[in-house]
Chain A
Amino acid sequence: MTRYAMVMDQRRCIGCHSCTIACRTWNELPVDIVYNPVVSQGATGIWPNVHLEFQPMICMHCEHPACVPACPTGASRQDDDGIVWVEPTQCMGCKVCANACPYGARVYNEEEGFMRKCTFCKDRVRVGDQPICVQTCHQKARTFGDLDDPNSEVSQLVNQYYTERVYPELGTDPQIYYIPSRGRGRD
């Protein structure tokens, strides 16, 4: 089986917004929809003992996504490889999924009349390319791959390093793993 996941190495991320812009270009997003904002955390602390960290956000492509069962029409789906996406022809724009998602990963597009969200660039992945946010990151802060394959880079990173996930306590089993830049995870 294939289980797509992504590792965000916060030791490497410098908050340059490349992924944000590349994603918008590839997915031809309207100006007010952002799939993957980069959140700056800091500088925190008291000068000069301060710390700065960036957290790239994205759809968590949860193992147990809250948005999929919430959808009344079946437009919201999860593929066998774990990718969560929306079938636009079946979406009626009721926004229930957006309310269900704890990560704010879904945005309603007024003009098109359906929900939009990150698809892990499944169109690129299907032909063997990397998701555009991964390819464009020159800090190599993002790694994408198959978590079910023990030899994949994502598996090795997740097994080798201390990682954190966003709100794992909600039972969604999010598949975006963060390697924090300071603290227990620092090598």
Chain B
Amino acid sequence: MTITSLDLHAEGVTVRKTCCYFCHQNCGVLAYVKDGKVIFAEGDPTHPTNQGGLCARGNQALTFLNNPSRVNYPLKRAGEKGENKWERISWDQAFSEIAAKLNQIKEESGPEAVAAAAGTLRTDDWARRRFLNLFGTPNGFHNALLCWIPTFNIETAVSGWSPFETDLGSSKVIILWGMNPGASSMPGAHGYFDLQRTNGLKIIVVDPRYTETAAHADLWLPVRPGGDTALSLAMLNVIINEGLFDYEFVDKWCEGWDELVEHIQPYTPEWAEPMTWIEPELVRKAARMYGQNRPGNMQWAPTWDEMGRTSGAGIHARAIMRAICGNLDVPGGDGMPGPAAYITDEEMEANDYLPDDVKTKQLGSDKFKMTTWPGYGRLAEISKWRWGKAFTGEWFCEAHGPSVFKAILTGDPYQVRALFCSGTNPQSSYGDAKMVYAALRKVEFLVVCEYFITPTALQADYILPVAGAIERPVIHTNYGVTDSIVASERGIQPLYERKTDYDIWRGLGLACGQSEDMWPWETLEDAYYYMISPLNLPVSSYDEFVETYGMYYPPLQYKKHERRGYFATASGKVELKSSVMEELGLPGLPSYLPPAEDELDDPEVAKEFPIVLTTGGGFMPYHHSEHFNNPLFRYIYPDPYFTINPELAEKLKIKQGDWCWIETRRGRIKQRANVEAAVDPRVVYTQRGWWFPERDQDLTGPNPFGCLESNTNVLTSIDDEDCDPYTGCWANRGLMCKVYKCTEFDHEFTEKDTEFSIPGDDFWKLGGGVHKAPSEQKIAIDFAEPIYAQPDFEVPEGCTWDYKTRRAYDANGRYYDAGSGWMIDPETGAYYQYGTGYKYVSANGDFLLDEANGQFYDFAGQPSAGPQPTFEVPEMCVWDPITQTARHKDTGYRYDPNSGWLIDDATSVYYEKYTLRAYDPTTNLLVDMQTGKYYSMEDPTVEVTVGGEN
């Protein structure tokens, strides 16, 4: 007898190729389905991502699917806001009531008064964007600013497309910068360590914590949290000054090199030491290891985007580092996926339907331009010009989340009245959680699409039940910016009345009055099938694609810039000094900005809050604020812990497991002490995401579900001047805090601990309240006068300079080529004489052609007969100098001098020139197209009978 009741090989069990939906990796999962019920789920051994493995989160898929606390029906608030009293309603009622309210708000306050947040790839983002665009609001947002988007947009400004594909096979070195794949992207982790053992791949880890990953490093740089930008600049300084870069690539493909060399000189390793706490020699060692081992790889990690003020310059410096070391788009380097052959997310989003005047109302777009319409719009324009397609608007071009919450609270710059939250729990995941709590309490109309009643959903007016893992098909395209697809199908239809959020947005769109033509796909599978249709695969449905192919990878193409002749930037080069940033009034080269708080620049703050705080690092088995209601996980991991070095703990008389307060200028939280030497004695690391779903008995207090009491985002800062001036990402790392033990008289999280201030940094001295209106808050830099690219040649008369394409165009849309002095047609590449507008024709001599009347001239300006044939033109044909072909007098078929046959260009059919009988390749005979009779090839006048005998 066995203990388990499961038999996967029993009769009637079908296997469905689904995917895990609990992080972005979307590992393959085989769902065993019997009688419409999923009996077990395990890793798919044939899947390219995970090869059969699954992490703890993937392994609890069934617990998630059947969790008794899942929301299964549309719910409408029945009691007071936050009272947790609900009335079950039908989908029809939900759609019509929500749509009526949204349309009313649109009527009264404009569409931009509706904002929408969404979670980390738990949603069909293009569908949401489509709804928002058609509705007319630019205020969709994610926590995207803390996750890749700042990096992607800045790197795209530098090199045309963020180089994020790792191709480790022939890599010599990899930098895992603030990345701990041991806790965040497990399928990839063993790849690094395997190559380290078998290929001699060198691994450099930059991390203030000694992590699962740092434990495997060849070189580990324990940087001060927030010191990453100083470290990047110092490494760049060493690479440049020690000549560790790729001379040829820099010479041929980079713009702004000389200015960069001069600009980088002050940023020496010695300069960086106080900010990074790293010995200069170690910085040099790292720079040499990276610069001398080529090709190399640098792995992006969310850290890059989570340091607030200091982030952007560091990202820019690292983008330069990748480029000048010659690692862009080479085997073993930083691969750049091109535009995809399938229909991309951007094409599904209907961005063209959002009016331009609404784009300017996007919250935060006046302050943080790289990740909102001003920067994205320009970058997307360049991408489309160079490559024909652009990267996704969702994620990459969104409202600044914290500014939305501030607008809800202050009505500044305008009142946001309605908020959607789809698969997101902003209460836990956005900075300054106390302010977010107040905003969620205050917003007039809150609709939450969720799996569970989270602290955010608790405040909702409507909760809509969402279908999750195994209940939905998933197409994985890396947010729509890579050229490959990994696809999975659903195991079962959604249980109860759950819906995929595509169905929700479509239903709501139609209820709001959007045209059915704009939502032509009835199911998500239909939409996905449409997306893959340009691939021309022999499949008749999306599920068939999953089952026969499961993925689509176009042939790998390296060094695309060499083949195309340009990078997808305005200049066609890698812009070390970015023209897009200069157009936006941002610095074109990376200049150091300190983190939001540090002991060097804020001695007064450091006196009160002497310890450096780092937050946001992930830890298994939780993910963001998810799974805290999973008993399997909570049993092994019941309480929040912060990590503190034994040396510091001893000084503060803190012992393992003690509950402690951690306090910054903005507020304080409680976590338990994990005393171990995994961090520097000057640093503590707090865990993120914590809330306590089990505390559902009394939700009336100031802190329902304990949503603030251990929430690390109470400590983080979203003040505009603490945010990155390029992208608006806010400060999660490199903050200053103090730590003290909870005492008998001070261990309760009280009403007072929920008070917030705007700006949050003032809470320390001024207490709660709005001390400054958001529109009066400054960002960390002053915008410079925009600099637009100027011509490096004299623009001839009659031409106007276009900085966007860096060309001078004439009235005919041809641009001036300064090297030759000729005009070029951008469509055909043909040359035209400046002044006369005559086209240059090179065929058996050089000629000029006046296209208006077909007259040829020679270079001296004398009329000429034009190009002459190089072969004898047969008597039934005439020579046409414009197309330089001989054509049949009557039919216009082109004479092919090599074969002696006539060719119909429209059909590519060959004709015998005297009889005009067509060549039939299947019979190898001539056929008369009028009569259908066949004739011999040897003698075209002899008729041949075809058929009858074999």
Which residues of A are interface residues toward B (Cβ below 8 A)? 11-12, 14-18, 20-22, 24-28, 31-32, 34, 37, 42-48, 50-54, 87-89, 116, 119, 122-123, 127, 129, 132, 135-140, 181, 187
Contact = CB atoms under 8 A, between A and B. Distances in A.
Contact of B56 (A17, A127, A139): A17
A18 B52 CA distance: 12
5 contacts: A18-B55, A21-B60, A25-B59, A47-B222, A139-B190
A43 B676 contact: yes
Interface string B60-75: 1011000000000000
Contact of B190 (A43, A51, A140): A140
A85 B759 CA distance: 62
Contact of B186 (A16, A27, A32): A16
Nearest to B5: A28
A16 B55 contact: yes
A12 B193 contact: yes
A119 B2 CA distance: 9
B677 interface: yes
A87 B1 contact: yes
B50 interface: yes
Contacts of A31: 631-632, 635
B301 to A, nearest CB: 16
A14 B681 CA distance: 24
Interface string B1-21: 111111011000000000000
Contacts of A50: 210, 677-678
Contacts of A52: 210-212, 214-215, 678
Contacts of A15: 182, 212, 620
A18 B27 CA distance: 14
B618 to A, nearest CB: 11
B112 interface: no
Given A25-B62, A132-B42, 11 more contacts: A16-B55, A18-B55, A18-B56, A24-B632, A34-B635, A42-B676, A48-B220, A50-B678, A52-B678, A139-B190, A140-B190
Interface string B689-723: 00000000000000000000000000000000000
Contacts of A47: 210, 222, 645, 647, 677, 679-681
B193 to A, nearest CB: 7
B865 interface: no
A26 B2 contact: no
A81 to B, nearest CB: 15
Given A20-B636, A136-B43, A187-B197, A12 B190 contact: yes
A51 B676 CA distance: 11
A89 B50 CA distance: 39
A55 B15 CA distance: 34
A138 B681 contact: no
A148 B150 CA distance: 55
Contacts of B187: 138
Contact of B60 (A25, A46, A139): A25
A43 B59 contact: no
Interface in B197-239: 197, 210-215, 220, 222
Contacts of A187: 197
B56 A16 contact: yes
B183 A14 contact: yes
A42 B4 CA distance: 35
B656 to A, nearest CB: 13
B519 interface: no
Contacts of B631: 31
Sorted from nearest, which 3 A-B pairs have the closest CB atoms? A138-B53, A14-B182, A43-B678
B9 to A, nearest CB: 6
A3 B666 CA distance: 61
Given A12-B193, A52-B210, A17 B620 contact: yes
Contacts of B51: 138
B40 interface: yes
Given A21-B60, A26-B6, A88-B3, A135 B42 contact: yes
Given A27-B3, A28-B4, A47-B679, A14 B186 contact: yes
A89 B213 CA distance: 46
Nearest to A141: B190
Interface in B32-51: 40, 42-43, 45, 50-51
Most buried by A among B40, B53, B62, B214: B53
B767 interface: no
Contact of A11 (B193, B222, B636): B193
Nearest to B190: A139
A82 to B, nearest CB: 17
Contact of A88 (B1, B9, B183, B636): B1
B222 A48 contact: yes
Nearest to B648: A47
A26 B6 CA distance: 8
B597 to A, nearest CB: 22
A107 to B, nearest CB: 12
A136 B636 contact: no
Nearest to A45: B677
Given A12-B190, A47-B647, A139-B186, A27 B4 contact: yes
Contact of B59 (A12, A22, A127, A181): A22
B447 interface: no
Interface string B804-819: 0000000000000000
B926 interface: no
B189 interface: yes
B53 A18 contact: yes
Given A18-B59, A21-B60, A123-B4, A136 B54 contact: yes
Contacts of B632: 21, 24-25, 31
A123 B2 contact: yes
A26 B63 CA distance: 12
B182 to A, nearest CB: 4
A52 B678 CA distance: 8
B387 interface: no
A17 B220 CA distance: 25
A25 B27 CA distance: 18
A34 B645 CA distance: 30
A187 to B, nearest CB: 7
Question: Which residue, B3, B52, B681, has most C-beta atoms of chain A within 10 A?
Answer: B3
Nearest to B631: A31
Nearest to A187: B197
A23 to B, nearest CB: 9
Nearest to A38: B636
Contacts of A45: 677
A78 B1 CA distance: 14
B521 to A, nearest CB: 34
B189 A139 contact: yes
A156 B872 CA distance: 78
B585 interface: no
A129 B635 CA distance: 28
B874 interface: no
Contact of A16 (B4, B183, B647): B183
B56 A20 contact: yes
Contact of A22 (B4, B27, B54, B213): B54
A19 to B, nearest CB: 9
A127 B647 CA distance: 53
B249 interface: no
Given A24-B632, A26-B6, A14 B189 contact: yes
Contact of A136 (B8, B42, B62, B189): B42
B602 to A, nearest CB: 25
Contacts of B2: 119, 122-123
Contacts of A54: 212
A48 B645 CA distance: 10
B4 A26 contact: yes
Contact of B621 (A16, A27, A28): A16
Contacts of B43: 135-136, 138
A137 B680 CA distance: 31
A21 B622 CA distance: 12
A45 B58 CA distance: 33
B414 interface: no
